[in-house]
Chain A
Amino acid sequence: MNRRIASGLVISLLFTGCTKTDKTYRPTSQELRLNLHSEPPTLDPRKATDTVSVSILNLCFEGLTRRTPDGKVIPAVAESFEISPDKKTYTFILRDAKWSDGKPITAHDFEMTWKTMLDPSFPCEFASDLYIIKNARIAKSNLGSLNEVGIQAVDDKTLIVQLEHPVPYFLDALATHSFFATPTHITTTYPNWTDAHYVGNGNFVLKEWRHRDTILLEKNPQYWDRENIKLERVTFALIEDESTELTMYENGELDWAGYPLSNLPTEALPSLEKQGKLHNFAISGTYYYVFNTKEFPFTNANIRKAFSLAINRRSIVDNVTQMKQIPAMSLVPPTIWNVTPYFKDNDLAEARRLFELGLQELGITASDLPPLHLSYNTVVGHHKIAQAIQEQWHQAFGVQVKLENKEWKVFLDELTHHKFQIARMGGLANVNDPMTFLDYYRYLSNSNNLAQWSNLKFTQLLDEADVTLDEAKRFTLLREAEKVFIDEMPIAPIYFYNGNYLKKSYVKGIHLSDLNNLDLKWAYVELNDTVSR
């Protein structure tokens, strides 16, 4: 089926490629027309786990803090906050903000929302985002009471949060959907509130949600900073087909196409690039291959390093993905800190040396090596990259690598049960801190530690970083941890993610964040502009 759809895509693109000029559309009101590539599974911030739901939630809700376009964190629903000297207790004073139904937002809303998420009987997949709060994990695991969790609304305006340990990115995290409050006066009365009684506190308010069809947002008249919101309406079509989205964009029916709400069809990228229409944006995320360090021969660190060094990343981003990604020779992406490559890309001489060394340590020769298995989920892009790397490894070491593509859920099932040798994966940050990437490997018990790798020194460095109050010193420790990690190479980083999008020239003031967020607070449509590009 996928193949058939792909061939259809190609045909349509042959045609769309021919159209050089887009239809002109003259915007007549402050309305922005976007496409979200699928139906959001939920619009309840407590239950959302995916980027689709989060893109709407970020517009309909606002946390205690907010990230500005230049990446700073500023108070939002909180008017001010105080941090204790040990950086473990935060006291927030809330401003006079209102829910979209006019009721005031109180500290109790925050307390109740977060405690509901941590209630063992409440289905909340990403409750672990709240585990930085004191006793949160214990409560969710049903080993302690919710009353002992470090969240306390002293009065309507004052919220005190205690953390397990100092978390330098806590204010950053508060701006993300996991820490949004929900209107408890609504959620307690209407359990299915997202359907008919939707209330938020963001820049926009949900007016209509026709499932799998349209989402309509309007400016929130109750928003505390409403004077600064220029857009009156934002409509989202919910079209899954990427080439239909592109056709609609070119036909003047959409103002934006592609990242972060959707993807542009890969086949169309070269032609769009040539026409100079394509915009490119770096995301906090890394595409990598995981080695199962409990599986022969990747039990050996030198073998893992050899395989990683032998990959020609430059050639992959230039010739295979062709999306101008940055080759990754480290784990944490450059959107988080300045990246220092820990090794040379495609260093064949060193790779071969390490390969021989590794074989010696394992007490085998190259001919003893059985065919290796590289698994990935069935997506054309992953398949092409895997083919390139299969060839590169074969040329470097003469090894046979078998490619195994699997249906998504089957693939995940095998990963979580560690039934793989090498597997493709990708990680996206949920806050802009190196810890998001490093923390996966702190303990063997972390279910995200697919490589099953652990290292005492690495764990100690992260533990030390947790209690280090000095920001610069903490970063030094984390960098050292990253070096230990790359030195053992449980994963082979390949490239840092980026996103591609098209936008009409009359659309102004949209801010993208490297956390996959489309910020429309300052967005507007230039009404006297008729030139479309």
Chain B
Amino acid sequence: MTQYLAKKAAILIGSLFLVTTLTFFLMHSIPGDPFVQDKAIPEEILKALHKHYGLDQPLYIQYGKYLDGVLHFELGPSFKYEGRTVNEIIADGFPVSFYLGMEALIIAVFGGIVLGSIAALNHMRWQDHMTMIIAVIGISVPSFILATFLQYLLAMKLDLLPVARWGTFSQTIMPAISLAALPMAFIARLTRANMVEVMQQDYIQTAKSKGLNSFQIVVRHAIRNALMPVVTYLGPLTAAVMTGSFAIEKIFGIPGLGQWFVTSITNRDYTVIMGTTIFYSAILMLCVFIVDLLYCLIDPRIQLKQEIDGR
């Protein structure tokens, strides 16, 4: 087990290093300067700014300094948002995105599994068709269209919820639903497909012949096996919803982390681009790692040791 964990950790750190390096050099290769605006600033002032932020030094030195900072968990100051550090930006934005992401994840997972199970147990009947229509809509309608539609319906017309902003639970409902729609539909489809297959297995027949009712069969025997692909999907999904969505945060005015991924690039805010990318990569890898561990909890047949030998 320790050997396995050590190896995983080494791969994680290696990948993070690779991501950092690639992003750093790609970012500096795109044209544009953090301080150039439509109202041009005199040469001497631009030079002073570059010097202040260390952009006048050769790229490899900047890279070395940045890596050194990352090792000390210092992600540097933002170039655009004066006086704010990338650490602060992440510390401010992440909890918001995390909260919203978890809410969306709960809706997606529970909603998806319930819908998928209903569909599977009523295979080829109207319940099945209904849920699958819902799933297709969920997958094909983009989140921002759903978001504006919800705003119109629930806030403008029915006056049930506030239009936007952040702070109270009621303000989280519409963004969470918008975020959850797509993964929920996806999970519903995954669950249904696997559940249909599992329900035809011999051990389910055995359970049935023992006289268990269908609720017990599903909850105690079927779901566990049907969920393996869902768990695989949960890793990247969790990382994605936890770090926020650009469109949803923009529409609802949510001060999360998602917007920084996009605006930092349009601003050429180098340190923020690097910081958010590294942070996201780390979260993503961590989630995938946790999923690996979860496999063995759900399915005792998978053992970590085998996986090591397998590689």
Contact = CB atoms under 8 A, between A and B. Distances in A.
Given A121-B48, A127-B45, A243-B148, A213 B166 contact: yes
Contacts, number: 167
Interface in B142-185: 142, 144-145, 147-149, 151-152, 155-156, 159, 162-167
B235 interface: no
B194 interface: no
Interface stretch (A1-9, A56-64, A76-84): A1-9
B92 interface: yes
A238 B249 CA distance: 11
A211 B257 CA distance: 11
Contacts of A247: 151-152, 155-156, 163-164
A409 to B, nearest CB: 3
A11 B145 contact: yes
Interface in B32-49: 32-33, 35-45, 48-49
A127 B53 CA distance: 17
Given A237-B253, A253-B162, A412-B38, A8 B144 contact: yes
A409 B266 contact: yes
A181 to B, nearest CB: 18
A244 B252 contact: yes
Interface of A: 1, 4-5, 7-9, 11-12, 15-16, 19, 23, 39, 41-42, 44, 47, 49-50, 120-128, 137, 140-142, 192, 194-195, 210-213, 237-241, 243-244, 247-248, 250-251, 253, 407-410, 412-414, 416, 425-428, 446-448, 450
A53 B9 CA distance: 44
Given A41-B80, A239-B164, A212 B255 contact: yes
Contact of B41 (A8, A42, A128, A238): A128
Given A49-B37, A128-B41, A409 B251 contact: no
Contact of A238 (B37, B253, B268): B253
Given A212-B255, A237-B253, A123 B48 contact: yes
Contact of A251 (B36, B43, B49, B155): B155
Contact of A44 (B43, B53, B82): B82
A496 B149 CA distance: 36
Interface string B1-42: 000000000000000000000000000001111011111111
A240 B80 contact: no
Given A409-B31, A425-B38, A248 B82 contact: no
Given A49-B37, A125-B45, A447-B41, A5 B247 contact: yes
Nearest to B50: A123
Contacts of A251: 155-156, 163
Given A120-B48, A212-B255, A237-B253, A412 B32 contact: yes
B49 A192 contact: no
A213 B165 CA distance: 7
